[in-house]
Amino acid sequence: MKKSGIVKIVIIVVVLAAIVMTFFFYQGHKSSQQVQTEAVATVVQSLLMRDLKYNYPPTPKEVVKYYAEITECFYNEKYSDEELLQLAAKIQELYDVELVANKTQEQYIEDLKADITKMKQDGYTIASYEVSASTDVEYFTQDGYSCARLYCTFSLRKEGKTGRATTLERFLLRQDEDKHWKIMGWELVEDSKS
């Protein structure tokens, strides 16, 4: 009788241990899936949460860096139509008033969507970007405004290809009346898409 009692206790302990281990495995697997889901949303949300009224980038380099982060998000991340409109509004906060005035809001959104669609159809994503070093920013005065010129290199990855293509863009910024550096425009300096 003692042996059968010990065997029953051992079997009960093993079954309980298996149940506890299964529970913890399930909980761990479930929470890792939640973390992965939240990480995807975090890229878009973190860009949208930045309040530029109180936390505007202090230097031309930081303005272009934030511009590049949003641009990378446009081409690499998944987002809703509403989030696209919010990202577009956020990036326009970095633009000089003259640049914003060049297009209606509807035309800007239409052009942005077309550009994003074309890039995605062509299979391109932004692998990385690199903004000029602070020491390489060229400062000058033009028409009474403090201006700055700097570069940003975007490294593009094409779906199904091993190499990367790069584009070099030159940015022109000027300070507004609040001493915020605003993007007046940019141009493609070098295009080596493959």
For 6-63, the pLDDT digits (tens) are 777 777 777 777 777 777 777 776 655 555 555 544 688 889 999 999 999 999 999 9
Structure tokens at 128: 């990385």
Q: Which of 58, 55, 47 is nearest to 137 (CA)?
A: 58
Intervals of the chain under pLDDT 50: 40-41, 193-194
**Would you state the pLDDT for residue 23?**
72
- 17: CB partners within 8 A, 6+ apart: none
**Would you state the pLDDT for residue 40?**
47
**Residue 71 φ then ψ, to 5°:** -60, -45
**Would you state the pLDDT for residue 147?**
97
54-191: CATH topology is Nuclear Transport Factor 2; Chain: A, (3.10.450)
**Helix ranges restricted to H, 50-104:** 60-76, 81-92, 97-100
Note the pTM of the prediction, 2 decimals: 0.75
The DSSP output letter for 95 is B
**Would you state the pLDDT for residue 70?**
96
